[in-house]
Amino acid sequence: MAGKNTTIHASIPVIYLKEGESFICYSPAFDLAAHGSSFEDARRSFTKTVKLFMAHVTKKGTWGEVLREYGWKKNKRNWDPPRVIGQGSKVIELPVPA
C-alpha cells in the first residue's frame, strides 16, 4: 500500500535573463531553466518545465533524494529551498580567437 502524499508550498528563487532576443528563466532550487521569445512566454515555459520535473520525480518517488541533492533542508514539517543570498558580477578574462 502506497503512503499518503502531502504537499508543501515553497517559494523558489527564479532568475530572469535576456540573451539577445530570448528571455530565460532559471532556478537554482532545481537547476531548471526555460526560455521564450518574450518574458511571459519564458515564464509559461518555465512553469511547464517545473510541472514536468515534479511529475517525473513524483512518479519515481524520489523527492527526498532530489531535494537533498539540490541543497534543500528538512525542518520539522517541511523542506526549505536553498536561499539566494546575493547576486553580482565578476570580471573574468576569456581567451577568444582574434
What single DSSP character describes residue 22? Answer: E
Residue at 36 is within a domain: yes
Over residues 27-85, the pLDDT tens digits come to 999 999 999 999 999 999 999 999 999 999 999 999 999 999 999 999 888 888 888 88
Number of structural domains the chain divides into: 1
Provide the CB-side half-sphere exposure for 28 (13 A, CA).
10
Read off the pLDDT of each residue in 86-90 and give the average, rounded to a whole number.
84
What single DSSP character describes residue 81? Answer: P
Residue at 53 is within a domain: yes
Residue at 25 is within a domain: yes
Residue at 88 is within a domain: no
Residues near 80 by Cβ (< 8 Å), separated by ≥ 6? 10, 72, 73, 74
Residue at 87 is within a domain: no
Residue at 32 is within a domain: yes
Residue at 89 is within a domain: no
Residue at 67 is within a domain: yes
Domain of 62 in residue numbering reads as: 15-80
